[in-house]
Structure 1
Amino acid sequence: MQATTISKEQRFVAKDMSRAIRKLNETLGPEAILLSSRKVEEGVEIVALPAGEQPLASSLHRQISGRRLEQRRQTDNMTIGTDSNASAVDAEAEDLISPAARLAASIGEMTNPYEQPDGFEELQHELQQVKKMLEEKVRRQGRHDTIFSRPIQYGLLNRLLDLGINLDIAGPLTEGIDFEGQLATAAEGENKLAHAWSLCLDRLHAKMAITSKDAVANGGMFAFVGPSGAGKTSALMKLATRWLLEHSVDDIAIISVSSETASIHRLAAMTKIPVYLVDKKNSLADRLAQCSMRRLVLIDTSGLSQDAPQHEKDLQYLASLDQLKSFIVLPATGDHRWCKKAIADYASSNTVGCILSNIDQVDAIGELLCVLMSHQLCVHYLSEGELLPHYIYSPTASELMLKLGEDYSSCQSSSTKALSSF
């Protein structure tokens, strides 16, 4: 006598596929096994099993047969309606390109899964992929509905995207603003979009990746790392010259690991700052020991190169020193994807932030600032123009906002007034 096996499959009926998927997830969880879906009078019906369960052979065979019959019926209806009702054909065609119809068609073409050892596993894998696709579509649809139901938020997102702010950062900046409450209480006659933009700029201003301290002012050991041509030597020379305005030449030293030393030697000839070269006779460790008594030690490095493996070893050695701090020097004129790769190549445990060079040659740095914010990399200095000490400075958040193309100071008063009214 054979034991009777009870199927644990469950049916979920809803007005549309998105609601049916939500019911499925709430009842059986996200790992449930989706067996079938079809249109019914009430809307959509899906059949599923709890995770880890397997359907009965008779049940699965019945579902496959039913889908084949449904596929034939849809095909026949389309053929018959070609001459009599063109709109009916269009409706059927649209139905066949829906996810559920594609799923039914694919199952209809399959053989009995129990005729092959791995048939059920393959079917289950395909159904899970379809289920994830439907869930992702429902999730995206929900997000778009939220945005488009709030035209002011949509306008804010467009403005932020125009500044070069990517959606991952722009989205949170526009969320949390009470578009129905805060903006509704704005002063009569005030443009609601301008009012919301001021609030949004406040948030962006607070997120600017800057530091309030002048890192080099109190001395220490600093390495300037980054790709070749990024402006490392120029930034180093400006900071060295600025140090001399308030300190003695005996308090500073420059160590050059770079192969390009001409400009460093010219600086040394004019300022009498001692320069120590790293070469075959003098290792980096030896030079660091020689400069141990100096209050400020600035280390110029070369970019990574396959032709100079020793440069990579020197960078690794510098990264291992706890007492050393390093700046990644990036050109503001560089492509944001190139700068992102440079950060990945040169960042280490002792990286304290970055220096943006050639800042006077760009009008907007939104994409680059997004890269810095995503890597939590603070901007310590902006470098521009000639090799003079006042051409390198620690920026304020408002100065970075200005480089985004927005004069934050001009809208700060109206933004503050708006915040005080809530």
Structure 2
Amino acid sequence: MNVKKFTAATSRDALRKVREALGPDAVILSNRPVDGVVEILALDNDDVAALSVPAVDAPAPRVPQAPAFQAFDDDFDPEPVFSRAAVSQSQAELRQPEFRQAPRAAAPQSAPFGGQPDVARPFVERRAAPEGEIPPTYVNRRAASPETGIDMAAMTQMMSAAIASAKESAALEMGGMMNEIRAMRGLMETQLAELSWNATAQREPYKASVLREMLAAGFSATLARYLIEKMPVAKDAGEALRWIKTVLARNLTTIANEDDLLARGGVFALVGPTGVGKTTTTAKLAARCVMRHGPDKLALITTDAYRIGGHEQLRIYGKILGVMVHSVKDEADLRIALKELKNKHTVLIDTIGMSQRDQMVTEQVAMLSESGADVKRLLCLNATSTGETLNEVVRAYQGTGLAGCIMTKLDEAASIGNVLDVVIRQKLNLHYISNGQRVPEDLHLADRAMLIDRAFRNTRHASAQFGDADLPVMMAAAAHDRLHEVHLG
């Protein structure tokens, strides 16, 4: 029997030492104060179990009515207990559950060979552990418990969700950071552009005068800034303005001869927003075709079945010209009509007018493109609209490409620099200009020199609205816009 002694200042500290050395199942033999400290004698539970197993041929012990030894407990707050003289074998046996469960009043049986009755055998048989069972010792209790199964699918799903959440958070943070960087970059570019323009205006004052003239004519600040930056050194503002007009005329694309359009023939569809003058322009083109080729070579088609009187207006023009007008509702009708009119030299289609922001614009462009014939779309641009509105119209109706454009309502526009700016920047081919309601007199071929001169006419009063302090801000804002290639010559 291996009895160990533990000393400490308090009983709790001494019991903690017992637990650390022998485990929570240790048996306390004594607990007493000695020389100002607490002394505890303890015994390992395995030693007590070994003492409790008697020899096979030993006589059955008598069970005294004595209390069992006190087991170690984490919540045990002991009081001093004086030591006992010895630990008897009977007291140790009382701690064994198997022995306590054995019947105490069992009758003694005779020995098989005339010896003493075999009293210890029932105890030994009960004491034998079943096959595979581990005795409940301190070492076994401290052994690691078997690991529970892990659901790898659930673990993978949790990891994927965590990774996705981290990526989303990182993307949001990165997006915010990039927006801040872009804002800082734009602010720095604006300030640098203002400083650069102020220096340019002080060094070459005629550029500021030309800039006012272009802005007053309706040209965009983006185009004006680009041309002024590329402008060569000039003597005065007059020479600089002449250079600007020459470059603008060179970049304005027009048809040289009407025969390129009327003599070649084909299918032409006039498209554009509501009220831009498509029906009237269609009638003017029809009159020119009839005068050149006769009414039998021309056919008119209208898709305007929604506007009240739209179909009747074109039918009246057709009756005057002696041309049949066909009405279609959808792509199938248009395909059938074009197939029936394939022997005609020229076919003019008057389409439905709709806002450039209407989703049906895309459907209309698709209907004309997939009609089974080579339909050339001519976009009607209102000269009285602003530059930004005209840009939206071109972007909406452009689709896979426009064959050209027609400038309408020139007689109602105070300035035409806005529409010329869009035609130049969008690389459109300007066919005709319309300056009235008369059919067919108020339709003319586009003349580049006349249009540029008309744009800069009577701009002196309008240029006064742009002060010296406004020009640097406008030039700095235009520095962020991108411009298609402009040929300087």
Same fold (TM over 0.5): yes
| 1:353 aligned residue | 404
Q: How does 1:166-245 map to 2 (within 5 A)?
A: 166-179=220-233, 183=235, 192-214=236-258, 215-218=260-263, 219-245=265-291
| 1:340 aligned residue | 391
| 2:324 aligned residue | 274
Question: Cα 1:261–1:121, aligned 2, differ >3 Å: closer, same or farther?
Answer: closer
Question: Would the aligned equivalents of 1:148 and 1:154 in 2 still touch at CA under 8 Å?
Answer: no
Question: Would the aligned equivalents of 1:223 and 1:300 in 2 still touch at CA under 8 Å?
Answer: yes
Shift of 1:230: 1.0
**2-structure distance, mates of 1:126, 1:305:** 33
Q: How does 1:11-410 map to 2 (within 5 A)?
A: 132=185, 133-134=187-188, 137-179=191-233, 183=235, 192-214=236-258, 215-218=260-263, 219-259=265-305, 260-279=310-329, 283-304=333-354, 313-320=363-370, 323-406=374-457
Question: Would the aligned equivalents of 1:284 and 1:314 in 2 still touch at CA under 8 Å?
Answer: no
Question: Would the aligned equivalents of 1:221 and 1:324 in 2 still touch at CA under 8 Å?
Answer: yes
What's the TM-score once normalised by structure 1's chain length? 0.59
Shift of 1:389: 1.9
Shift of 1:231: 0.6
Question: Would the aligned equivalents of 2:255 and 2:430 in 1 still touch at CA under 8 Å?
Answer: yes
| 2:466 aligned residue | none
5+ residue gaps in structure 1? 1-116, 184-191, 408-422
Question: Would the aligned equivalents of 2:274 and 2:355 in 1 still touch at CA under 8 Å?
Answer: no
Question: Would the aligned equivalents of 2:273 and 2:355 in 1 still touch at CA under 8 Å?
Answer: no
SS in 2 for 1:165: coil
Shift of 1:373: 1.9
- Decide which structure has the larger Cα Rg and report it: 2
Shift of 1:124: 8.7
**2-structure distance, mates of 1:290, 1:255:** 12
Question: Would the aligned equivalents of 1:256 and 1:277 in 2 still touch at CA under 8 Å?
Answer: yes
Q: Deviations over 1:39-95 (max 9, x none)?
A: xxxxxxxxxxxxxxxxxxxxxxxxxxxxxxxxxxxxxxxxxxxxxxxxxxxxxxxxx
Question: Would the aligned equivalents of 1:254 and 1:299 in 2 still touch at CA under 8 Å?
Answer: yes
Name the structure with the higher helix share. 1
**2-structure distance, mates of 1:342, 1:130:** 29
**1-structure distance, mates of 2:183, 2:297:** 68
SS in 2 for 1:406: coil
Residue-pair matches, total: 279
Shift of 1:175: 3.3
SS in 2 for 1:254: strand
Question: Cα 1:363–1:311, aligned 2, differ >3 Å: closer, same or farther?
Answer: closer
Question: Would the aligned equivalents of 1:164 and 1:366 in 2 still touch at CA under 8 Å?
Answer: yes
Question: Would the aligned equivalents of 2:381 and 2:419 in 1 still touch at CA under 8 Å?
Answer: no
Question: Cα 1:141–1:244, aligned 2, differ >3 Å: closer, same or farther?
Answer: same
Q: What is the root-mean-square deviation of aligned Cα atoms in Å?
A: 3.4
Write the letter of the residue equivalent to 1:149: R
Write the letter of the residue equivalent to 2:304: S
Shift of 1:301: 0.5
**2-structure distance, mates of 1:217, 1:231:** 20
Question: Would the aligned equivalents of 1:237 and 1:264 in 2 still touch at CA under 8 Å?
Answer: yes
5+ residue gaps in structure 2? 1-169, 459-489
Question: Cα 1:144–1:209, aligned 2, differ >3 Å: closer, same or farther?
Answer: farther
**2-structure distance, mates of 1:400, 1:128:** 43
Write the letter of the residue equivalent to 1:368: V
What's the TM-score once normalised by structure 2's chain length? 0.51
| 1:112 aligned residue | none
Q: Deviations over 1:393-418 (max 9, x none)?
A: 111112212331339xxxxxxxxxxx
**2-structure distance, mates of 1:122, 1:357:** 45
**1-structure distance, mates of 2:399, 2:319:** 33
**2-structure distance, mates of 1:121, 1:341:** 32
Question: Cα 1:304–1:355, aligned 2, differ >3 Å: closer, same or farther?
Answer: same
Write the letter of the residue equivalent to 1:204: L
| 1:420 aligned residue | none
**2-structure distance, mates of 1:267, 1:126:** 57
Identical-pair percentage: 23
**2-structure distance, mates of 1:240, 1:397:** 24
SS in 1 for 2:379: strand
**1-structure distance, mates of 2:431, 2:176:** 56
Shift of 1:363: 3.2
